[in-house]
Amino acid sequence: MNSLLLGGLAVGIIFGFALQRGRFCMNSAFRDIITLEDFTLLKSVGAAILVTMLGFTIMSQTGAITLNPKPLFWGANMVGGFIFGIGMVLAGGCASGITYRVGEGMVGSLVAVIGLATAGTLTAMGFLKPIKDFLQSSTKIVAGEGINMTLANWLGLSHATVAYSIIVLAVILWWIFGRKNEDEVEQSDKSWAERIFKQGWNWWATGIVIGIVEMIAYLSSAAAGRNYPLGITAGWITIVKVGLPGVEASMNWVAWLVLGIIVGAAIASLIANEFKIRVPKGGVLLQIFIGSLLMGFGAVTSAGCNVTHILSGIPMLSLGSLLGGLFIVLGAWVTAWWMFVRPMQ
């Protein structure tokens, strides 16, 4: 096996460990705001995006990486993102959330991964492909020949100017408005090892670690010939293709990454004594499966799941990722309101 592809497995193991320790799930992050009025995971996501944005900008300025923002096809980004958002609430986890929870022993998440991979493959190369192709080609807007739309080139500014402005602005806004709502940090007398391996991580620690994983991922992935940082759905689709008879495909960096996530999360949950085979009831399994099919279709149509768009794409200022990410959040909110808030009123 190509040793560069092993980088995907190694990065995946670290990523999976961080996801499990940080309980990092974007479905929860966005949904909790309206269902439980809880902002903790949202702050983790925000911190991860900012750390990643800072890292990518410095790395691109020093020539360590070449930014590769996803294209803007507004129709596909909106429709795909919204459907993905609906799906992840039904499935009980985003693309990274369902992947890491397989490593915790959650059978429901395994069902979700199968659904995501199945519908993703059918949209990438099966009978759903014409819908995706139509939505993408009919609404594609580019900044120039081979140049994808970003917030920077849309505003006519450099990537670094826009990125640093966003980071500074976000920190200032946080300092003024966010800080006072912060719960007091409990003084812990526990050892560092216990805090890393046994307890769930603080939101900011999770955000910083995931941001650093993104940077390592970009270098490792680019070295293996895939010029993009973290992603999930493409990895699962690759694994399905490898297993399909008559389809030429081989394991690539992102396919090893998703397998690594499961291994990393399993290691983390075993150390923390949180591993357990858990099986939801039949009706819930059906709900999860339907949700994950929507996720697979949505992710491929929008050219990205929550990780590709929100975690990796927004730091590159891709307009397609910003729009796709926004519609993932909207889809999740509408569904969470319908399923959880409305029945409680």
Burial 165-187 (b: 16+ CB within 10 A, else e): ebbeebeeeeeeeeeeeeeeeee
The minimum distance between CB 217 and another protein, in angstroms, equals: 23
280 lies in the site for another protein, by CB under 8 A: yes
For the beta sheet containing 147-148, the strands, ordered from the edge strand earlier in sequence to the opposite edge, are 72-73, 140-144, 147-148
Distance CA 297, CA 121 (A): 8
Binding another protein (rule: CB under 8 A), the pick from 65, 95, 104, 149 is 104
184 lies in the site for another protein, by CB under 8 A: no
The minimum distance between CB 43 and another protein, in angstroms, equals: 12
Residue 54: Cβ within 10 Å count: 17
23 lies in the site for another protein, by CB under 8 A: yes
Distance CA 234, CA 297 (A): 12
108 lies in the site for another protein, by CB under 8 A: yes
Return the bridge partners of 171, or none. Answer: none
Identify residues 50-89 at the interface with another protein (CB under 8 A). Answer: none
The minimum distance between CB 36 and another protein, in angstroms, equals: 5
Identify residues 301-330 at the interface with another protein (CB under 8 A). Answer: none
The minimum distance between CB 250 and another protein, in angstroms, equals: 33
The minimum distance between CB 344 and another protein, in angstroms, equals: 6
Burial 301-332 (b: 16+ CB within 10 A, else e): bbbbbbbbbbbbbbbbbbbbbbbbbbbbbbbb
Nearer to another protein, 5 or 98 (CB): 98
Binding another protein (rule: CB under 8 A), the pick from 5, 106, 240, 257 is 106
Nearer to another protein, 77 or 206 (CB): 206
CA 45 to chain centre: 10
Residue 246, sorted as left (phi over 0), alpha (psi -120 to 50) or beta, turns out to be: left
The minimum distance between CB 25 and another protein, in angstroms, equals: 7
The minimum distance between CB 109 and another protein, in angstroms, equals: 8
Distance CA 126, CA 32 (A): 35
The minimum distance between CB 41 and another protein, in angstroms, equals: 8
The minimum distance between CB 340 and another protein, in angstroms, equals: 5
274 lies in the site for another protein, by CB under 8 A: yes
Binding another protein (rule: CB under 8 A), the pick from 8, 69, 80, 92 is 92
What does residue 328 show for φ and ψ, rounded to 5 degrees?
-65, -45
Near another protein by CB under 8 A, which window of 8-16, 208-216, 272-280, 298-306?
A: 272-280
Nearer to another protein, 190 or 225 (CB): 190
204 lies in the site for another protein, by CB under 8 A: no
Binding another protein (rule: CB under 8 A), the pick from 26, 28, 115, 294 is 28
Among 231, 211, 203, residue whose Cα is nearest residue 56: 211
Provide the residue count of the chain: 345
Three-state DSSP state, 174: helix
With CB under 8 A as the rule, give the number of residues binding another protein: 34
Binding another protein (rule: CB under 8 A), the pick from 138, 188, 247, 278 is 278
6 lies in the site for another protein, by CB under 8 A: no
DSSP string across 72-137: EEHHHHHHHHHHHHHHHHHHTS-HHHHHHHHTTTBHHHHHHHHHHHHHHHHHHHSTTHHHHHHHHH
Distance CA 152, CA 158 (A): 6
Q: Please report, as ranges, the residues that interact with another protein according to CB under 8 A.
A: 23, 25, 27-28, 31-32, 35-38, 40, 92-93, 97, 104, 106, 108-109, 183, 200, 269, 272-276, 278-281, 284, 288, 340, 344
